[in-house]
Amino acid sequence: MNELTCLVIGGGYAGIHAIRSIQQAFQKAGETRKIRIVLIDKEPYHLRKVLLFKPAAHQEEITIAFARMFPDIQVVRGIVVRIEIRIS
């Protein structure tokens, strides 16, 4: 197999750190295979929740578009309603 696919559900703090960790681990391991990372989120942006108080105080951008944050991954906008695991 020449390409691995990694699916990340939710681009909150857990999701964005997972993506970065996967990318770094893959680089460190000197993998020759390609990795395709797909992020599914109901929103097109990461919301920096820890900065939620900021817009009330002054103009501050508290969302970052996933496309800008991770130009090299595939972003799918959608709501995950079920995860089905099949073991064969």
Contact set with ligand FAD (CB under 6 A): 10-15, 40-43, 49-50, 52, 79-80
Other Cβ atoms within 10 Å of 45 Cβ, number:
18
Report how far apart, in Å, the C-alpha atoms of 7 and of each of 20, 39, 62 are.
13, 6, 25
Q: Which residue is nearest to ligand FAD (CB)?
A: 12
Judged by beta carbon, residue 32 or residue 59, the one nearer ligand FAD is 59
Say which residue the tokens 């073991």 belong to. 87
Asked if 35 and 4 touch (Cβ cutoff 8 Å), the reply is: yes
Judged by beta carbon, residue 34 or residue 42, the one nearer ligand FAD is 42
- In sequence order, which ranges of 1-88 are alpha helices (DSSP H)? 13-28, 54-57, 66-69
Q: Least distance (Å) from ligand FAD to the CB of residue 11?
A: 5
Q: Least distance (Å) from ligand FAD to the CB of residue 62?
A: 10
Judged by beta carbon, residue 11 or residue 70, the one nearer ligand FAD is 11
